[in-house]
Amino acid sequence: MSDTTEYTPPKVWVPKPALGRFANINRPVAGPTHDKELPVGKHPLQLYSLGTPNGVKVTIMLEELLALGHKGAEYDAWLIKIGEGDQFSSGFVKVNPNSKIPALLDRSGPKPIRVFETAAILTHLAEKFGEFLPTDPAERAETFSWLFWQMGSAPYVGGGFGHFYAYAPIKIEYAIDRFTMEAKRQLDVLDKQLAEHKFVAGDKYTIADMAIFPWYGGLIKGWLYGDAATFISGEEYKNVHRWADMLLERPAVKRGRMVNRLSGEPSSQLHERHDASDFDTKTQDKIAAAAQ
């Protein structure tokens, strides 16, 4: 059912009770709502996150770095339950004043460095370890172009299409049509690029792939927003499917998708990651079996 009631905005917007799935955490101001320090583990990198598309970008990157033998990329991944407002704690706001996951605290140097926004985190890690970001000027520019394409475009997929299609308390035909059109246009941009290149930015696997895959790969594979893949005719984007399938074969991608995950098969959920062995011993199926 579509909302056909005409709405005339007031001259000045006045805050009102939020509606919908995220009503308890939506508000028009920033800052903490409660005092709570963040936990700190034993590793150089402390990640505070959730297994959403944005969170998965960073855990894939970290697992890829570890797969290459970078011991300094060892990390603790702490679960931040955004539905319960964990991102508004005083400790989290210190690491990310925008109260969005993921947030990274790099404690490998003499002074801790906070990094927030996924493009900043991916770039920080790529430059720190010298991986997944080309040094050739043209290749580097192409990688950054696609990285920031994702950063600028994905809000239309998540905050626009995903919200109005799956989460809004009422179905608004205009809003769904508007954002579906844009989501499909973005998929077409990506599909045409991947028709000519193995990876998004060319022939090398980069942080651009890691940033784009959880959103656009996830959308066409049916991981996001219920039956959205069917609704947008996701099967049309053959090149995106080819690329997504290729990435899914990478062990580090498989591991990265498990970290801080709260949905899906229990064997695919590793709520927190503090050691490489956790993938073998602390997934939700293993925890449930041990408790019996």
**Two tokens at 123?**
């770039």
pLDDT above 60 (res 256):
yes
pLDDT above 90 (res 80):
yes
Q: Which position has the token pair 């062995």?
A: 277
Q: Give me the sheet containing 113-116, strands edge to edge.
A: 75-79, 45-49, 103-106, 113-116
pLDDT above 80 (res 2):
no
Whether residue 115 contacts residue 87, with contact meaning beta carbons closer than 8 Å, is answered with no
* Cis status, amide bond into 102, omega within 30 of 0: yes
Task: State the CATH number of the domain containing residue 218.
Answer: 1.20.1050.10
Looking at 38-117, list the stretches that DSSP marks H as alpha helix, in order from N- to C-terminal side. 53-67, 90-95
pLDDT above 50 (res 1):
no
Whether residue 207 contacts residue 143, with contact meaning beta carbons closer than 8 Å, is answered with yes
Whether residue 50 contacts residue 82, with contact meaning beta carbons closer than 8 Å, is answered with yes
Least confident of 25-29, 162-166, 194-198, 199-203: 25-29
- pLDDT-derived band of residue 3, with 50, 70 and 90 as boundaries? low
Question: Domain for residue 285, yes or no?
Answer: no
Neighbours of 81 (CB within 10 A): 13
Burial class (CB in 10 A: 0-12, 13-18, 19+), 157: buried
Question: Domain for residue 52, yes or no?
Answer: no
The CA-to-CA distance between both ends of the chain, in Å, stands at 46
Question: Domain for residue 30, yes or no?
Answer: no
Question: Domain for residue 233, yes or no?
Answer: yes
**pLDDT at position 22, please?**
83
Question: Domain for residue 168, yes or no?
Answer: yes
Question: Domain for residue 241, yes or no?
Answer: yes
- pLDDT-derived band of residue 18, with 50, 70 and 90 as boundaries? confident
**What is the distance between the alpha carbons of residues 256 and 17, in angstroms, rounded to a whole number?**
36
pLDDT above 60 (res 287):
yes
Q: Which position has the token pair 């996701």?
A: 234
Residue type, 276: A
Number of domains, the chain: 1
- Residue 197 domain boundaries: 137-256
pTM of the model: 0.96
Whether residue 184 contacts residue 157, with contact meaning beta carbons closer than 8 Å, is answered with no
Question: Domain for residue 212, yes or no?
Answer: yes
Q: For residue range 134-155, list pLDDT tens digits in order.
A: 999 999 999 999 999 999 999 9
String of DSSP letters for 129-148: HT-SS--SHHHHHHHHHHHH
pLDDT above 90 (res 177):
yes
**What is the distance between the alpha carbons of residues 118 and 125, in angstroms, rounded to a whole number?**
11
Q: For residue range 206-246, list pLDDT tens digits in order.
A: 999 999 999 999 999 999 999 999 999 999 999 999 999 99
Q: For residue range 121-138, list pLDDT tens digits in order.
A: 999 999 999 999 999 999
Question: Domain for residue 182, yes or no?
Answer: yes
Burial class (CB in 10 A: 0-12, 13-18, 19+), 44: middle
Q: Taking all residues of the chain, what is their mean pLDDT, rounded to a whole number?
A: 96
At CA 87, angle to CA 84 and CA 90, rounded to 5?
115
pLDDT above 70 (res 38):
yes
**Two tokens at 103?**
């947030």
- Give 179 or 26, the one with higher predicted confidence: 179
Whether residue 179 contacts residue 228, with contact meaning beta carbons closer than 8 Å, is answered with no
**What is the distance between the alpha carbons of residues 4 and 222, in angstroms, rounded to a whole number?**
30
Q: For residue range 52-77, list pLDDT tens digits in order.
A: 999 999 999 999 999 999 999 999 99
